[in-house]
């Protein structure tokens, strides 16, 4: 979490971080802690391609569509093994977010997020979050692109 706090402090928005007294490690826990609908939680999923690791940030009520993933990214879905997530991405499971990630990690936003004015991604640990507009999420995550690779048709 310190890495994300420092990142947002450098951006001048560190004061917007929300410290939670309870876990935000899952969509359901985060929604309860933040008193918002689960779909407004911007969950970050970690995958591994031959060209390297990638994160997909999607609305909390969506699921990856394997066929769309393969058609768009050219490979079958392969999630990172839990034991390797922190080393490869830079954040531990439960706190994986698209901010201040390790070099070489590509970030993509799923179009399911665009139906909301703001969303809540976690920020490097299982007990914090930040509220961001979609343009802010795109900016601060350094997202490479927006994708339509979820089963649920929210795009």
Write out pLDDT tens, residues 33-67: 999 999 999 999 999 998 899 999 999 999 999 99
Q: Residue 153: its pLDDT value, please?
A: 64
With 90 as the cut, is the pLDDT of residue 14 above it? no
Cβ pair 90, 102 in contact under 8 A: yes
Q: Is the pLDDT of residue 102 over 70?
A: yes
Residue 4 dihedral angles phi and psi, to the nearest 5°: -70, -40
Q: Which residue blocks in the chain are alpha helix, DSSP H? A: 2-11, 27-34, 66-73, 82-89, 134-141
Query: What is the reported pTM?
Result: 0.94
Q: What percent of the chain has pLDDT over 70?
A: 98
Domains plus CATH for the chain?
2-147 (3.90.960.10)
């Amino acid at each position: 979490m310190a890495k994300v706090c420092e990142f947002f402090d450098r951006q001048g928005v560190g004061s917007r971080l929300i410290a939670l007294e309870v876990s935000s490690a899952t969509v359901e826990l985060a929604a309860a802690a933040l008193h918002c609908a689960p779909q407004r939680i911007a969950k970050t999923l970690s995958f591994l391609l031959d060209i390297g690791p990638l994160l997909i940030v999607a609305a909390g009520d969506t699921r990856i569509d394997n066929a769309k993933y393969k058609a768009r990214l050219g490979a079958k879905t392969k999630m990172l093994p839990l034991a390797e997530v922190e080393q490869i991405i830079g954040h531990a499971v439960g706190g994986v977010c698209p901010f201040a990630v390790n070099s070489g990690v590509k970030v993509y936003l799923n179009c399911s997020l665009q139906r909301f004015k703001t969303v809540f991604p976690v920020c490097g640990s299982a007990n914090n979050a930040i509220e961001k507009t979609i343009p802010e999420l795109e900016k601060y995550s350094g997202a490479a692109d927006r994708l339509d690779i979820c089963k649920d048709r929210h795009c």
